[in-house]
Chains A and B, each alone.
Chain A
């Protein structure tokens, strides 16, 4: 017999449904929540996007503290992971002893590199170990991971790990690393990626030049410093599926890399990207995902790993420092006739996205200028430093600093306005880039003139 529901009870239930929870997200977004405007542009019509004030659709959860970032997620029985990192920039690992670790309070499971099914990963070359086994190549290399009941217990447990090292000569300068006698960081040569771009005859261009300008420019290593540190959570579903939550910004690549390290078919892995508290390129490849997955498997419990701020600096990726040798030949009227560029990218201990970065830096190295003769040589080099990888622009900001600095130096030396030398040499409609691309919809000069006008670059007409 069906239970009789009184009107009173119904009203009560209705009230409960309608009452706004104090601090939690409502099940259905209320109408007052700003929503993304419907974008249905007409063919060949400019959408009125530029110059409009837009309220971000995700701002309401941000300002109420209800946005769920990865560290705001927790699961029953969840363990916390900390990773012991190398004590040396370059060393052979003689032995790793984790016996005492198991007796530390709160420790549930431990992991070393030997237990990782395929202990290597990387976006271009798979030269980076998940956890180092016989050799460390920079201070950020992880060696032992421990899962404990609390973060504090995991941290304290790491003191019980004994690692014996035999220090090896390290190299920190990319130019020194290119020396044939420099310590080799991997089995292959320290120069592991290169890109050469040639257009015209650069030697003849220099011969025909009235003046030649030469200078070396350098840029430093830069960390992305997202406010939210890198993190991952792994749990195994009862049917054998692996579910990983991660701050990874490239989940399709990340899932493939994770499947490879775990020797699992990709369709058994679900990788969920959580809302990210800043990426800037530094969260574009896997880091602790295989570690949390394996520790979750060993412990039979959900496992979370959050980077400390220190790890964020030493065990993530950074922006490539570049050594850039620029030589530019000009005619006395300021026209650029030839430019040769030699780029050395400090790749750090592992390849990561260096191949992409050396490519992009080389392609853009001559700048947005019409130069008939160009030669660019770019090289990425291993050093015993923090790994360098993807960061906004992939090498473009570094070379922009170099070529624009040289343009200014040329202008000042000739005694002409830095704006004029750019207008004289800048790309135009149909200009051909050093890689042979015919450029379309080029608005360089209009943009420069507009910027000069708006910034009151000089008095008088522009």
Chain B
């Protein structure tokens, strides 16, 4: 068994895991953070996407021991039920998801993109979300939501408060 200690959504979390334990199952089973989903278990669907030191990763492919001493952000770290992140507000306004299973991973990937590039073009948005599959064909409204945020922010930057 191995000791893992990481900063998860701003708080220090510890777990004792067997070597083959993935970050995803540690998040879900040891720390009760069930927002990240298991869809394919082979890194294709992106439902398990989280941020590790600011980079988006498939947590089903990363071993828990690999995040020792690092910083992890999951969907639970973005916004609470009453205090939404601006990305979540945009996704809610456009009802971008149907069954919702892909939503947490999709939103985390979008956050990783905007953290790195605050004004992405539509091809850049598509590229950044290429690793997140949606089976209910919700891509259009997902891309619309991110585009809307970028546009709103561009307006806000241009117009001094």
Question: Taking beta carbons and an 8 Å cutoff, which residues of A are in contact with B?
Answer: 20-23, 25-26, 30, 32, 34, 54-56, 58-69, 71-72, 74, 152, 224-229, 275-278, 280, 306, 308-309
Minimum CB–CB distance for A224 against chain B, Å: 8
**Which residue of A is nearest B46, CB measured?**
A227
Are the C-beta atoms of B81 and A227 separated by less than 8 Å?
no
CA distance A164 to B81 in the complex (A): 54
Are the C-beta atoms of A65 and B103 separated by less than 8 Å?
yes
Are the C-beta atoms of B92 and A55 separated by less than 8 Å?
yes
Minimum CB–CB distance for A26 against chain B, Å: 6
Question: Taking beta carbons and an 8 Å cutoff, which residues of B are in contact with A?
Answer: 18, 20, 28-29, 33-42, 45, 47, 74-76, 78-84, 88, 91-93, 95-104, 107, 133-136
Among A25, A62, A229, A280, point to the contact of B100 (Cβ < 8 A): A62
Task: Give 8 CB contacts A-B under 8 Å.
Answer: A22-B80, A32-B82, A56-B98, A64-B81, A64-B84, A227-B45, A227-B101, A275-B100
**Which residue of A is nearest B25, CB measured?**
A151
Are the C-beta atoms of A54 and B81 separated by less than 8 Å?
no
Are the C-beta atoms of B34 and A30 separated by less than 8 Å?
no
- B residues near A228, Cβ cutoff 8 Å: 37, 39, 99, 101
Are the C-beta atoms of A63 and B103 separated by less than 8 Å?
yes
Among B40, B93, B104, B136, point to the contact of A278 (Cβ < 8 A): B136
Among A20, A58, A60, A278, point to the contact of B101 (Cβ < 8 A): A278
Minimum CB–CB distance for B113 against chain A, Å: 16
CA distance A309 to B96 in the complex (A): 25
CA distance A67 to B42 in the complex (A): 23
CA distance A228 to B48 in the complex (A): 12
Among A20, A229, A275, A306, point to the contact of B80 (Cβ < 8 A): A20
Are the C-beta atoms of A64 and B38 separated by less than 8 Å?
no
Given A23-B76, A54-B95, A227-B99, are A63 and B133 also a contact pair (CB < 8 Å)? no
**Which residue of A is nearest B47, CB measured?**
A227
**Which residue of A is nearest B90, CB measured?**
A63
- B residues near A278, Cβ cutoff 8 Å: 99, 101, 135-136
Minimum CB–CB distance for A195 against chain B, Å: 30
- A residues near B81, Cβ cutoff 8 Å: 20-21, 25-26, 30, 60-61, 64, 66
Residue among B38, B96, B134 facing the most chain A CB atoms (10 A cut-off)? B38
List 20 extra interface pairs beyond A61-B100, A275-B100, A280-B135, CB under 8 A: A20-B81, A21-B80, A22-B80, A23-B80, A26-B81, A30-B82, A59-B97, A60-B81, A62-B103, A63-B88, A63-B92, A64-B84, A65-B35, A66-B35, A68-B34, A69-B37, A69-B101, A71-B28, A72-B34, A226-B99
**Which residue of B is nearest A74, CB measured?**
B29
Among A62, A66, A152, A227, point to the contact of B39 (Cβ < 8 A): A227
Minimum CB–CB distance for B72 against chain A, Å: 14
**Which residue of A is nearest B45, CB measured?**
A227
Given A22-B80, A278-B136, are A227 and B102 also a contact pair (CB < 8 Å)? yes
Minimum CB–CB distance for A233 against chain B, Å: 14
